Structure 1
Amino acid sequence: MAVRWSTLIIGSVFAAPFSPALAAAPDVVRELGSRVGPIVGQASACPDIAQGRVQGMVDKFREAIRLATRNDGERDQLTRSFNGYIAEGRSRTGASQATCAAAERQLTELERSLGEPAAATAPITPVKAETTTGAVTAGPVRGITDREIRFGMVLPFSGIRKETGRQMRQGIEAAFARTNDAGGVNGRMLRLVAADDGYDPNRTLAAMTQLYDKEQVFGFIGNVGTANSQVAIPYALERRTLYFAPNTGAAVVRRDPPDRYVFNYRASYAEETAALVRYLIRMKRVSPKQIAVFTQQDPFGDDGYTGVAKAYRQLNIGDTVTRINYPRATMDVEEAVNQVKAHKPGLKAIIMVATDRAAAKFIEKTRDAVPGLIYANVSAVGSTSLATELKLLGPRFTNGVIVTQGVPAVSGYSSLVLDYKNALAKYAPGEAPDYTSLEGYISATILIQALKQTNPLDTERLIDTLESMRSLDLGLGTTLAFGRAEHQASHKIWGTALDETGTYQAIELE
């Protein structure tokens, strides 16, 4: 990479005061990000390069982004682009002597372009302090004391997705409680602090700010909602804060290369919808022309529809995918029902990318109008709440309704599922096992293992620990893994279908 090419421009971008001419030229900053980001990423992967130097360059470039942009959307877009280039640089670097020597030279040249004195090549050693538990830390870290590690979670306390939020929180808290009873993480107790955004992305930023600034959380886990994550992720990235296992399978949390601070446990909606397309066409012998996609009209629905369209292309199917929408966060499905009734040729299967109550209302309105219609939902529908809604309508409304899952059957006997059910019985007595709370429990269990392996504990070391986790066997029947270029632990999809009693039974999707 030719660093000298941009020396003068970089110097003007980072100069103080900032050049007013560049305030109208974000494209200049975007181009520089494509050059600076990989250098920063390569340097961050080298143990002999002081991370203070790397972080200093990141902070300066993010300030340049702030000054060069006119609104939050533009700023977030540039920040995500810059973070992507950093991740790309990290993924290219094997921390070998040769690559790290090159990264050192490039970083030094960038520093000189800013008129800064050349930095020492030896890493800066932080002042270490020993806690009362004997663990070593590198000075104060947000959200961590000698007794506690504090995580935040943004979820809907009320509204159409409140049950999903409640279940996700319950699973995480059960895993935290189980760990705390066993002595915590190296003597520190885990604490989850939740904030409500009502499933409204317009309220997500305030909830994130409350948790970060007021509650001083170390990181975020289990946030609910796709559109909500679109708001939350740029906020977390800008603050270099962990955003772990959000309850969404959308592409926004699965960039390629991945955002450094964003990690997922579960399979994506694209993987779930692809599995459903293959199941309907190959196993149920449904013509592609007789499959439609019923989606919430928002990024959640967009992602599911895109997944179906991609699956059609992968199967060399030339037919256009029929999309039927309903308004976000509502149960207004009348127009969608009318489209199903009027569709020619008649529909035989619906892939549903919807919330629980909207999905139940849609099934209620179409079950008799289109007899024999196959309903196939992605996991985000909320399995338990969907079953509850349909059971109120009667056995003929539950029987045969399919839901893909990112976790194994809660009725199963794998070691982790048994641990989960025991923890639920102890810390949430009276609560029935649920697919969403199991997802929360698994996600928290992965994070806990990484926390235990990171000492001294801070965000950057935790990220490095997560990226080094390979062939993690939690007792799910499938192994999990992360890497520098892979921030999704599982790609496994389980199939379930409701019977006449409203109970989920396992089905084979392949």
Structure 2
Amino acid sequence: MRRDSFGCAVAMVMFAGCSTVFEPQQCAVDKDCGGGLVCELRGGDPVCVHPEDAPLVIGQSAPISGTNQALGTGMKLGIELAFEEQNALGGIRGRKLELDFRDDAYTPELAEQAARVLVDAKAMTTAPRCPTTTTPAVAGQEPISSTGLERGPKAVLAVLGSVGTPTMVRSAPVVIETGTIFFGAFTGASTILRDDKAATCRSYIFNVRASYAQEARATMEFFKKRGVVDHRHVISFDQNDSFGQAGYDGLVQGYKEVIGPFPGSADPTTPIVRFRYTRNDDASVPAQADAAESYLASLLTGNTSVHNVGIMMTDTYGAGAQFIHELRTWQYANDSQQGTLDKANRLKLHFSNVSFVGPNALSERLVALGSVATPSGQRPFTDSVLVSQVVPNYQSDSSEVIASYNRLIAMKGVQPGFTSLEGYISTRVFIAGLLAHQGPFTPDALVKTLEQLPDLSLGLGASSGFSPANHQYSNSVWGTIIEPDGSFRNLYFWSQGQPIQFFE
């Protein structure tokens, strides 16, 4: 009997001891905890836990294999630089930032699969919360789901730095349907990200970069300054999917705003002539280049004028470099057309690529192609090739964010680039939101914090910042021209509501 009483007493003491050590302390914000603990949800209740047990896991889906792998590799690098930098500073009050990465090879089907895994999507029996779940953003595609989807226990806090428009239109609906944040996608498309297709689910979407429509507007202002006078002297080279369509729609709108309405003679469906290649298939480019050459020849026929032609390219680096090479080679070829059309002297071509192109990869390919013989001597294939950037020029800008990026790149021993810079800047903005947030980390709670994020003085323009009514951080575009050695020189700066400013 005594043994039983003793055992009971020991058990009570042990239970009491465990209760003292492990009884969870209630909290509302991190500072309620003390002792280096942080406030997180456990079993639905906000309690104090050790930060090592509360890492912030962020997902990313991007291509690091396939034709356009440089785009995903760059974005992933930029995110990792920012995560490593912040973790070295103690993370988010002790919480480490972790990246759960999936390679989608710039393929819509793989991107959707990756999104489902990252948010641990579980099918529900209830109706979807978002219109984009049942109504595809691209006509002809299958719905994401006929029922609602919920976040599973292994879901990431947010999906960051998704790469591409055709991939985004399949991944973003999955992410936002589950009530997960879709932040800083590497695309300027309006569809889903900047329009009303997602209805109230738009609250989970945050863009950092300027849109393709804004890039197109800046591009049209540049073309006008270079003597482009009408719609016949504007060409679109674009990818034959939702990415290309986003750029084309922006170009048409930009033309109306900068030049004016299209004349009655313009095609009502395609008022600006366009030549479209197939995604992930650079072999589809030569046929489009041939068609563009025929069109340019028609401009020269029957007159002796000099023609300034603006070519906006909603493309990726491989296709873009090939198209430029084909057109320049044709323009300066010593063929029968040269004698009748004098295309070498009468055509002034201005190539402007959107930021998604992969500026550094494009530059490297054009430099590798060398130069073409012209009546006035050798001309590099980089000549008159621009990229409308949505981040400052890391080769010349002196802002703090650029200095930090260049320092981290040098420490890592890798090459800098505009794509990794965009990944780094987007992640810096995201981390600022994490640092500002004080309570347990849930997507819904973090949305409210992000909506109060002001201009962080990162050098992205005076109108930077988020608000409940504005989920796009930056509205600025930097026009850069590729030099013969592959470097980038600032040509112009454009910001929403301001006239274009040239540096030369």
1:386 to 346, 359, 362: 362
Match of 2:349 among 366, 369, 373: 373
Q: How big is the shift at 1:285?
A: 4.1
Structure 1: which amino acid aligns with 2:423?
Answer: G
The amino acid across from 2:359 in the alignment is: S
Q: Which residue of 1 aligns with 2:483?
A: 499
Q: Which residue of 1 aligns with 2:261?
A: 317
SS at 2:393 equivalent: coil
- Residue of structure 2 aligned with 1:338, choices 274, 282, 290: 290
- Which residue number corresponds to residue 111 of structure 2? 204
- Per the TM alignment, residue 495 of structure 1 is displaced from its structure 2 partner at its CA by 0.7
Tell me what 1:350 maps to.
311
1:133 aligns with 2:10: no
C-alpha distance in 1 between matches for 2:477 and 2:492: 10
Cα gap change, 1:163 to 1:140, in 2 (>3 Å): farther
Task: Give the letter for the 2:176 counterpart.
Answer: L
1:151-190 correspondence to structure 2 within 5 Å:
151-190=58-97
Aligned to 1:25: none
Match of 1:444 in 2: 427
Shift of residue 267 of structure 1? 0.4
2:448 counterpart residue number: 464
Matched residue, 1:404: 388
Give the Cα–Cα distance (whole angstroms) in 1 for the partners of residues 278 and 463 of structure 2: 38
Structure 1's 477 and 269: CA in aligned 2 closer, same or farther, altered over 3 A? closer
Aligned equivalents of 1:469, 1:206: Cα separation in 2? 31
Q: Is 1:240 the counterpart of 2:179 in the alignment?
A: yes
- Aligned mates of 1:334, 1:476 — CA distance in 2: 37
1:307 paired to 2:250: yes
Partners of 1:421 and 1:436 in 2: CA distance: 13
Distance 1:229 1:145 in 2: 32
For 1:206, what is the secondary structure of its paired residue? helix
Structure 1 residue 130, shift from structure 2 partner: 4.5
What CA distance in whole angstroms lies between the structure 2 residues aligned with 1:472 and 1:141? 33
- Rounded to whole Å, the distance in 2 between the matches of 1:313 and 1:468 is 34
Q: Give the superposition deviation at 1:138.
A: 3.6
Q: Which moved more, 1:464-473 or 1:170-179?
A: 464-473
For 1:451 and 1:127, the matched residues in 2 are separated by 16
Distance 2:43 2:354 in 1: 42
The correspondence of residues 180-329 of structure 1 with structure 2, limited to 5 A, is: 180-213=87-120, 216-252=155-191, 253-256=193-196, 259-315=202-258, 316-318=260-262, 319=266, 320-329=271-280
Say if 1:335 and 1:141 are closer, same or farther in 2 by CA, change over 3 A. farther
Deviation per CA, 1:60-109, whole angstroms, max 9, x where unpaired?
Answer: xxxxxxxxxxxxxxxxxxxxxxxxxxxxxxxxxxxxxxxxxxxxxxxxxx
Task: Looking at secondary structure, tell me which structure has more helix per residue.
Answer: 1
TM-score (norm 1): 0.71
Contact 1:131–1:137 (CA under 8 A) maintained in structure 2? no
Residue identity in the other structure for 2:60: M
Give the whole-Å Cα distance in 2 for the aligned partners of 1:314 and 1:191.
44
**1:378 counterpart letter in structure 2:** V
Which of 403, 406, 421 is equivalent to 1:418?
A: 403
SS at match of 1:194: strand
The answer for unaligned runs of 5 or more in structure 2 is 1-25, 46-50, 121-152, 301-306, 332-343, 372-379, 494-499
Secondary structure of the residue aligned to 2:406 is: helix
CA-CA distance at 1:278 after TM superposition: 1.3
Deviation of 1:506 after TM superposition, in Å, equals: 0.5
Query: Is the contact between residue 415 and residue 476 of structure 1 (CA under 8 Å) also seen in structure 2?
Result: no
Question: Which amino acid in structure 2 is aligned with residue 354 of structure 1?
Answer: D
What is the CA deviation profile of residues 359-398 of structure 1, one whole-angstrom value per residue up to 9, with x for unaligned ones?
0010111112234421111101000000111111015111
Contact 2:74 2:419 in 1 (8 A): yes
Which residue identity lines up with residue 312 of structure 1 in the other structure?
Y
The structure number with the bigger radius of gyration is 2
SS at match of 1:152: strand
Cα contact 1:498–1:505 (8 A) shared by 2: yes
Count of aligned pairs = 383
Q: Residue 184 of structure 1: SS of its match in structure 2?
A: coil
Q: Which is further off, 275-284 or 191-200? A: 275-284
Instruction: Give, in whole Å, the separation in 1 of the partners of 2:430 and 2:53.
Output: 19
SS in 1 for 2:280: coil
Q: Distance in 1 between matches of 2:72 and 2:66?
A: 10
**Unaligned stretches of 5+ in structure 1?**
1-124
Secondary structure of 1:417's match? helix
Structure 1 residue 317, shift from structure 2 partner: 3.3
Deviates more, 1:386-395 or 1:299-308: 386-395
Q: Percent identity?
A: 32
> What are the Cα deviations for residues 127-147 of structure 1, in whole angstroms up to 9, with x where unaligned?
8894863322243689x9634
Deviation per residue, 1:110-137 (Å, 9 max, x gap): xxxxxxxxxxxxxxx9988948633222
C-alpha change, 1:419 and 1:329, in structure 2 (3 Å) is same
Rounded to whole Å, the distance in 1 between the matches of 2:56 and 2:463 is: 27
CA distance in 2, matches of 1:274, 1:336: 24
Q: Is the 8 A contact 2:40 2:54 kept in 1?
A: no
